[in-house]
Structure formats: structure tokens, C-alpha cells
Chains A and B, each alone.
Chain A
Amino acid sequence: MIAPGTEPGLWRTARALAVRDLRMAWRRRGDVLQPVLFAVLVVVLFALALGREPQRLAADAIAVLWLAVLLAGQLALDALFRSDAEDGSLEQWLLAPVPLSWLVLVRVAMHWATTALPLIAISPLLAEMLHLPHDQLPMLLASLLLGTPLLSLIGGVVAALTVGLRRSGILVALLSLPLYVPVLVFGAGSVAAAARGQDPSGALLMLAAGLVAALVLAPLATAAALRISLS
């Protein structure tokens, strides 16, 4: 009889997948920069279109920043499962001794860390370009830190549904942007409320509640969608 081998648990599979994703992100460092550059360009274009008055820019800064981050994340979304589907890695995920939803959760987390985290890191610079008042910066960062993981989790479901399609660039956007609306409303809304001197905690708590719900439900939905896409 075959000698019993090592059976990987949740943490070992998660570590293996995380190490793999970080290695690949490091090998393709240029790709990680693309969403960041895109967000910078969106902000620059908005600034050019809005004119040079600092007050005017500052008034729209929150909306522009949130949209830039959201759209940049949107562009990176298609890469979430595509390469793993095309080279057969997902088939092996399905045969792993851990739930597919767990692998999906780890994958989305790594994708967030390599696409959204650089955006958050650069957002103070973008805020400066738009003359956002400095006292609003902590609120902006808090709303992005709560909002972007939520965007990644929701986007994961859509990316999984469309992974079987050959060209799905615009379809992913059409499906996911409506789902992003509540995140955008509460995310940008929290900063805007703080700017008006109102209490932003309500909006932030809604984001947090959404994030908790999505952490539990989105991986399950994504795993189901991947199974459908692969069969």
C-alpha cells in the first residue's frame, strides 16, 4: 500500500498559494504598477478637465479619488482567475483537499494586496494633487481600507462568472460596476460627511458590515461560479 503522505491543511495550502502569488507578482513587478499608473492618469485627467482652481478641485477630490481607485481595481479584476483558468491551475484547485472557497479567499486577498494596496499607498499623493484638505486624509484612507477589500470580494464573483468567456473585458465592467454602487456611496459618502463636519461613523460601519458579510458569502459564491465556469 502507498505510504501515507502529508495531507495539507488550510494554513499550508494558504501559505503555498500566497507564496506563489507574491513570487509571481515580484517576477512581474511592472504589472503591479499598471493600476497605480492608471489611477494617477485618471486623477490628472480630472484635474485638467476641472481647471486649476484649488477650491474647485478640493470640492470634487473625494469623488475623483474614489472613482480612480475603483476603476483601476476594475481593470485589474479580469486577471484575478484568468491565467489560472487558462493554464489548468483551477482544475487542480478543485481537486485540492481544502474547500475551493478557501483557496478563492486567499487568492482574492493576494490580489487585493498586489493591486489595491499599492493604490491605497499612493492615495495620499493623489489627494495632494487634488488639494484635498489634509484633515480629510485619515478618513479617506479608512474608507479605502474598508472599501477596496469589499470591491475585490464582489468583483471576484463577477470575475469567476466570466472566466469561461474568451473576451470578457467590458462584460466584467458591466456586471461589476452596478454591484460597486453601494460601496462607492458609503465609501465616498463617509469622507464627504466628515468634510461637512457630520459624523462619518455610520457610513464606515456600513462598509465594515458589508465587508464582514462579503468575507463569508463572496468566496462561497465565487467558488460556485468557478465550478459552473469550468464545467
Chain B
Amino acid sequence: MLAAHGLSFTRDEDPVFGPLDFHVDAGEALLVQGDNGAGKTTLLRVLAGLLRPSDGRVSIDGRAAGTAERARFVAYLGHLPALKADLDTLENLHFLCGLHGRRARQMPGNALALVGLAGHEATLVRHLSAGQKRRLALARMWLSPAPVWLLDEPYANLDLDGITLVNRMISAHLRGGGAALVTTHGAYAAPPVRTRQLQLQVAA
């Protein structure tokens, strides 16, 4: 579903990662591991189209990835939550659904309950804890109609319960025919799904 061919990224002459070759099929997760500074976030930003690769190419569903393909196929969860502090949780989800579309038969209210934020519908995001914001961002991913999830450190700030939640969501997403790329710096409990591994090394 998502494939990289000879993908590399160089920042100011310093190689950040690559060249990398990998692919993720429907129903599969790719666990991107590496130490701090190994280029995991950069890799995901390149795949999401936020950065231009120095070399190589990305293909989505067999076609070269352009803006239109990315908008249809890719949902990105970065370090920044993309939530507005002055809006409440439900308003944030409604806006993001308005921007990206919504998965059929999924409603923002149900997604909030799924990530354990039921009862916080009218809470302003500025009053949420870091972990709760993370959960809200996960609800956004759940509502997104895109089949490929790019998750940058989805376990950050989450409690044990939240970590199982992430794994449950990834499993359900993959069972539905989706794919996921997950970066993690530690040996977190990987989701119990068909998983490939990609190890990134800090460039010398």
C-alpha cells in the first residue's frame, strides 16, 4: 500500500537517513525503531509529504505519491497535536473531520468514547492533560478515512491503559484493511499484528 524506493533525506549536506527500501501492505504494521536523532520523525514527515526527499521516491497504492494520493491515503499523527486550545474536544474533532473527511459510520462522539474521553465533550483542550490531548489526537486518526496511518511516537505521554488503547486501535485498523507505520524509540509492547521492522541508525 505504501512503498519507499531508495528513499533518503539529507539536511544541509548531513545525511539524516537512508537510502531506505521498504513497503507496507494492507493489514500490516511497520515498526520504525531507532535511537533519538536516528531520523524516525523525519522519515514520517517525508512519507507524509511535509518534507521533500533528497533522493528516491514514495509510492502509494502502486502510484507515485502526489498531493492527491497523500490526501486520500495518509493520516499523520505528529509530535504536535494539531488541536486548538480554545475549542472543546468535540469542536476540534468536527473541524478536523470537516478538513479531512470522515470514515463511514463513525461519529466524533463515539470516537471520544472509544479513546476514553467520554464526558469530556465540552472540555476545552487547554484544560486537558498531555495524555488526554494524545488520546484526542488518536480519536482524530480513528475518524480519518485514510487507510495508511503514520504514527509518530503514539505512545508518548500515555499511561499503560493508553498504550493498550493504541495497540487495540492499530489492530482494529489493520483488520479493517488499513496499514500503519509506527515509530518508537523504546521496546514498547508492539501491537499484536503482522509487523515488519525497520531499524534506523544514527547517521555517522
Contacts and interface: CB of A to CB of B under 8 A. Distances in A.
Interface in A81-127: 83, 86-89, 91-98
Given A24-B87, A87-B85, A6 B80 contact: no
Contact of B98 (A17, A28, A95): A17
Nearest to B85: A87
Contacts, number: 109
B100 A95 contact: yes
B122 to A, nearest CB: 13
Given A2-B177, A5-B145, A97-B68, A91 B80 contact: yes
Q: Is the interface of B mostly helix, strand, loop or mixed?
A: loop
25 contacts: A1-B176, A3-B103, A4-B145, A5-B103, A5-B145, A8-B98, A15-B98, A16-B98, A17-B98, A19-B95, A23-B86, A24-B86, A24-B87, A27-B86, A83-B84, A87-B81, A88-B80, A91-B48, A91-B82, A95-B49, A95-B70, A95-B71, A95-B100, A96-B99, A97-B72
B50 interface: yes
Interface in B4-28: 26
A12 interface: yes
Interface residues of A, number: 34
Contact of A13 (B49, B99, B145, B176): B99
B96 interface: yes
Given A6-B145, A87-B82, A95-B71, 8 more contacts: A3-B103, A8-B100, A8-B101, A13-B98, A13-B99, A23-B86, A86-B80, A87-B85
B83 A12 contact: no
Interface in A11-66: 12-13, 15-17, 19-20, 23-24, 27-28
Given A6-B101, A87-B82, A20 B71 contact: no
Contacts of B95: 16-17, 19-20
